[in-house]
Amino acid sequence: MRNPAENAQLALLLEVSGTPKPGNVDRHRDYDDLRFEHFMAGAVGSLSGLRMAADGDRIGRAFERGVAGMSDQSGGNTQFGALLMLTPLVRAAASDRLSPAGTSEVVEGTTVADACDFYRAFDHVEVAVDEPPEDMDALDVRRGSDAVPALRERELTLYDVMAQSADRDGVAAEWTSGFERSFEAAEWLRSDDGPVYKRASRVFLRLLADEPDTFVVTRNGETAAAEATDRAQAVLDGAEDAEALAEAFVERDINPGTTADLTAAALFIALEQGLEV
């Protein structure tokens, strides 16, 4: 029987194996500099951090160690956002609190030290993020560990950091909403049938159709994000072909990465709730 850390690793592997996922690396599509194998290696490398989360280590420390292990491959950032979702979910599962309320308890209990470790994780990989407000330059996550003194001075916990960006970042929004969309998508997975990789693809499309992807907003702008949402809905309606859309988005470098992070979280929750593979 798999433990929560192993289910989290499996969720990462199942997420990248799902296909088609328009704009994302999957078993059929690579980017020139980011390939399926990099995601496989990232999932393998992240296990030590996920085990730390299951064993009761601080959330921030477990996340930073997971990112450090994930980055031990040549492709760069593969699953930063997914690990930020999975780390508190693993802690919640390991302590019999895997529910929206229980996971909220986990993230709301994070500390300033957790926030410092979160920033240190940015030392390992480059992550596409929004420009911070003018008065928040000292807390720009791209500063990595250099921002630690400002975090300590302002006494910001990791939950505080997530709350500050929840209105513009889909992963942070999950942290502050009890992982609402992740738990809902887990129900979609469990109520579906067929191979899990096809279920994951359908869940990805439903999530993308439901709400603009904040990673697309950051990298490509709001117009591209709205287009991605509309075209995902067109696939669900049978008006557009998923494989063709996947190829088109890869060619245009439109990558709904936040939707992939949500899919990974949903897969983990569903596995913990009994999804068979």
Structure confidence by residue, pLDDT tens digits, 89-121: 999 999 999 999 999 999 999 999 999 999 999
Instruction: State how far the Cα of 214 lies from the Cα of 204, in Å rounded to an integer.
Output: 14
Structure confidence by residue, pLDDT tens digits, 119-128: 999 999 989 8
Average pLDDT (246-272) is 96
The pLDDT of residue 141 is: 85
H-type alpha helices, 95-221: 100-108, 112-121, 148-154, 158-165, 170-175, 180-191, 196-210, 214-220
pLDDT category at 130 given cuts 50, 70, 90 is: confident
**Domain extent for 30:** 4-272
Asked whether the beta carbons of 190 and 275 are under 8 A apart, the reply is: yes
CB crowding 127-164: b at 16 or more within 10 Å, else e? bebeebeeeeeebbbebeeebbebbeeeebbbbbbbbb
Residue 241 in domain:
yes
Residue 150 in domain:
yes
Number of structural domains (the chain) is 1
Instruction: State how far the Cα of 233 lies from the Cα of 238, in Å rounded to an integer.
Output: 9
Residue 115 in domain:
yes
Residue 94 in domain:
yes
Instruction: State how far the Cα of 142 lies from the Cα of 119, in Å rounded to an integer.
Output: 8
Instruction: State how far the Cα of 175 lies from the Cα of 70, in Å rounded to an integer.
Output: 21
Amino acid at 75: G
First vs last Cα of the chain: how many Å apart?
12
CATH number where 43 lies? 1.10.4200.10
Asked whether the beta carbons of 240 and 231 are under 8 A apart, the reply is: yes
Structure confidence by residue, pLDDT tens digits, 208-241: 999 999 999 999 999 999 999 999 999 999 999 9
Asked whether the beta carbons of 46 and 66 are under 8 A apart, the reply is: yes
The pLDDT of residue 123 is: 95
Residue 277 in domain:
no
Please state the pTM of the whole predicted model: 0.96
Structure confidence by residue, pLDDT tens digits, 6-64: 999 999 999 999 999 999 999 999 998 999 999 999 999 999 999 999 999 999 999 99
pLDDT category at 139 given cuts 50, 70, 90 is: confident
β-sheet bridge partners, residue 225: none
Mean per-residue pLDDT over the chain, rounded: 95
β-sheet bridge partners, residue 26: 29
Residue 83 in domain:
yes
